[in-house]
Amino acid sequence: MKIAFTGKGGSGKSTLAALFVGHLRATGQRVLAIDADVNVHLAPLLGVVAGAETALSHPDNVRRVRSHLLGSNPRVAGVEHFVATTPPGPGSHLVTLDETDPVLAGHATRLDDAAHVLHVGTYEAKDIGSGCYHGHLAILENLLSHVSLQAEDWVVCDMVAGTDAFANSLHAQFDVIVVVAEPTPESLSVARRYRELAEAAGVGDVVAVVGNKVADDTDRDYLARELGGEPLATLTNQAGLRRARQSGVPPRPADLDDDGALTAIAAHARGREMSGERRDALMRTLHLRMAQKGWVRSAHGDVSTQLAEV
């Protein structure tokens, strides 16, 4: 199961993602947590120091990861011909959640035998005036399209805020996308727009909205009215969680008054894995769109040949 958390900046998406990772660990699941937010909040919330040298988007790490994923795939001429939507092919190496997996062993921080954390990275001083975070996310897109999960495995990703996932293939890479929404006009406008874009992209059924920082019944009624229905779950303002954060301690499900929202998200997600055929069709469309871009053709040639013939 691949699940992502997004929403307006400040909605609590990173904290909810960290709590959900804690919930999965407590229930015995194998988890790969990925911090893909430019602000790099999830990793520290899980107690991980996220440095530039260990970021997935560090050029040396990009090359190492892509070299591993490439394997002996004859459809890709070399790591320099990987684009964000390059699919696995014959001879490709897939990433697993086994702690001996080369990508996890070489690039992830181990929390325990069953839980690891990766972080994509953020802007560095050298990127000022010339960097784009979407370029950093290409290696994440590669990893997600080459991951192989067992039945009780989870990838939990804290995504970029807002609707940036529609600028690349991330909206098509997850089985469930949780949009975290506060009971404010600004936060709910992001949630509604996210659902609209997801429908247009053919993944409307993947999106679920969770209300956060809900104070009272007025807030609940406001969420339901503005969303056109009840959210999947709601979390109230949590004093215990706030005290934990103020003391600098990573948040835990035990800091919540109850973990009903976390349980509801897990229950909603189970059984909603996207079929391989549907995922392949979505990614094929996005790859062909990528292949038509002038800069891609100039830098990489005709990458449409990376697809299997149909």
Residue ranges per structural domain of the chain: 2-306
Position 154, amino acid: W
The mean per-residue pLDDT over the stretch 243-258 comes to 87
| pLDDT at residue 134, as a whole number | 60
Cβ atoms of 115 and 21 closer than 8 Å: yes
Each residue of 228-248: pLDDT tens digit?
999 999 999 888 888 888 888
Rounded Cα distance, 151 and 149, in Å: 7
Other Cβ atoms less than 10 A from the Cβ of 225: the count is 10
Each residue of 81-113: pLDDT tens digit?
999 999 999 999 999 999 999 999 999 999 999
Q: Report CA 263 to chain centroid distance, whole Å.
A: 19
Each residue of 290-300: pLDDT tens digit?
999 999 999 99
> Which of 66-80, 152-166, 190-204, 221-235 shows the lowest mean pLDDT across its residues?
152-166
Q: Give percent above pLDDT 90 in the chain.
A: 82
Each residue of 174-193: pLDDT tens digit?
999 999 999 999 999 999 99
Q: Are strands 176-181 and 30-35 parallel, antiparallel or unpaired?
A: unpaired
Q: Looking at the predicted structure, is the pLDDT value of residue 131 above 80?
A: no
Strand ranges in 182-301 using DSSP code E only, listed in sequence order? 207-214, 233-236
Element (H, E) at 109: strand 109-112
Cβ atoms of 115 and 250 closer than 8 Å: no
Rounded Cα distance, 76 and 56, in Å: 21
Select from 3.40.50.300, 3.10.250.10, 1.10.579.10, 3.40.50.1580 the CATH code of 2-306.
3.40.50.300
Beta bridge partners of 3: 156, 176
Rounded Cα distance, 306 and 76, in Å: 6
